[in-house]
Amino acid sequence: MRVRTVLIILVMLLMAVFVGVNWPAFMAPTPLSLLVTRIEAPLGLVMLGLQVLVLLVFAVYIAMWQGAVLLQSRRHTKELQAQRTLADQAEASRFTELRAVLHEEFERLAAHVGKTQEDLVREMREHSNSLAATIGELDGRVQGQGKPPQPSL
């Protein structure tokens, strides 16, 4: 139990002990004025009855207040759940959009890499052909220097 609950129970027990010990004084008849008339009744019993009445009114007020708080808490919980669902849907939508953007970017990069690779292969072939031609020309020169010059007519 919480400290407040224990404290309330302790105070009520102390009041019950006080009333029990002083019961004869509570039951002693006393003349009481009700503004328009006078009656003879036990003052302690009247005050005890008023205290019980105030306690019951307070308990009903607390019960109604807690019920209102509980209803408001449930309403807030439902609203929070609805907002959480909306946020989850928005996040899923953003992930889907991000996936599409990344897919497009990867396709663009793949196309760029493919084009770059084709350009590199073409350039390597051109350099290879140029190198082969240069080697052939040098080979021809080297072979041409080893032969005696031919007479010209």
132 lies in a domain? no
DSSP string, 70-81: HHHHHHHHHHHH
Gap between the Cα atoms of 118 and 20, Å rounded: 105
Structure tokens, 84: 């959480």
Is the model's pLDDT at 85 over the cut of 90? yes
Non-local CB neighbours of 43 within 8 Å, separated by 6+ positions: 26, 28, 30, 32
pLDDT digits (tens, 9 = 90+) for 25-66: 889 999 999 889 999 999 888 898 999 999 999 999 999 999
- Contact criterion met (CB below 8 Å) for 87 and 79: no
Parent domain of 92: 3-127
Residue 30 belongs to some domain of the structure: yes
Whether 145 is in a domain gets the answer no
Reply yes or no on whether the pLDDT at 149 is more than 70: no
Residue 32 is assigned to a structural domain of this protein: yes
Domain total of the chain:
1
Q: Is residue 148 in a domain?
A: no
